[in-house]
């Protein structure tokens, strides 16, 4: 069974707009996908993922974000929804400064292909984002009006 990893269950309340993944995750769970949510242990370190299903409790984790309970099973995602503050059409993104998703994608992509999808509002697109070698590109960005095929895996 495929495991889908979400960036987070609900927006963080930061000043940048952020799409809630809750409706998407609930629909995917209803369609039979298993959902894994991130567990953050330290900045710039790869994330762990724990299984979650709609209706299950979430608790504030070590870094203040809501996460599955510690007894939820660990899972390796087959696809990741990645948070972003802004993006460009080439799949570069500005995250929220922790480096966790870049570290996670780098670790996962060293083992196998794993698509990364950014969910954003159209007005979060910018012309170009400066990037460094450690920055991981998105394969797709989905906005309310367009799907960007960023070609990161190809």
Tell me, what's the pLDDT at 16? 59
Token pair for 67: 């996460």
Q: What is the mean pLDDT of residues 16-41?
A: 88
Q: How confident is the model at residue 33 (pLDDT cuts 50, 70, 90)?
A: very high
Tell me, what's the pLDDT at 4? 64
Would you say how long the chain is, in residues? 154
Per-residue pLDDT reduced to its tens digit, 82-139? 989 999 999 999 988 788 899 999 999 999 999 999 999 999 999 999 999 989 999 9
Share of the chain above pLDDT 90, in %: 65
**Residue (of 77, 90, 76) closest to 118 by Cα position:** 90
Token pair for 87: 């993006």
Q: Domain residues of the chain, as ranges?
A: 3-149
CATH 3.30.1360.20 fits 3-149, yes or no: no
Q: What is residue 23's three-state secondary structure?
A: helix
On average, the pLDDT of the chain sits at: 87
| Angle ∠(1,11,88) on CA atoms, nearest 5 | 85
64 or 33: whose pLDDT is higher? 33
Q: Check whether 19 has a pLDDT greater than 80.
A: yes
Tell me, what's the pLDDT at 34? 93
Q: What is residue 47's three-state secondary structure?
A: coil
* Residue whose structure tokens are 């209803």: 30
The alpha-helical segments, DSSP class H, found in 63-153 are 100-111
Tell me, what's the pLDDT at 99? 86
Token pair for 94: 């500005």
């Amino acid at each position: 069974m495929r495991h889908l990893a979400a960036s987070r269950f609900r927006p963080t309340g930061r000043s940048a707009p952020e799409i809630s993944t809750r409706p998407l995750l609930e629909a995917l769970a209803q369609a039979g996908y298993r959902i894994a949510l991130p567990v953050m242990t330290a900045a710039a370190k790869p994330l762990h993922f724990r299984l979650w299903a709609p209706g299950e409790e979430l608790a504030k984790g070590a870094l203040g974000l809501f996460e599955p309970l510690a007894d939820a099973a660990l899972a390796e995602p087959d696809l990741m929804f990645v948070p972003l503050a802004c993006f460009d059409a080439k799949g570069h993104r500005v995250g929220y400064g922790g480096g966790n998703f870049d570290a996670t994608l780098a670790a996962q992509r060293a083992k196998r292909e794993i698509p990364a999808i950014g969910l954003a509002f159209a007005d979060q697109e910018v012309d170009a984002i400066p990037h460094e070698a450690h920055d991981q590109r998105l394969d797709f960005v989905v906005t309310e009006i367009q799907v960007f095929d960023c070609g990161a895996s190809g």
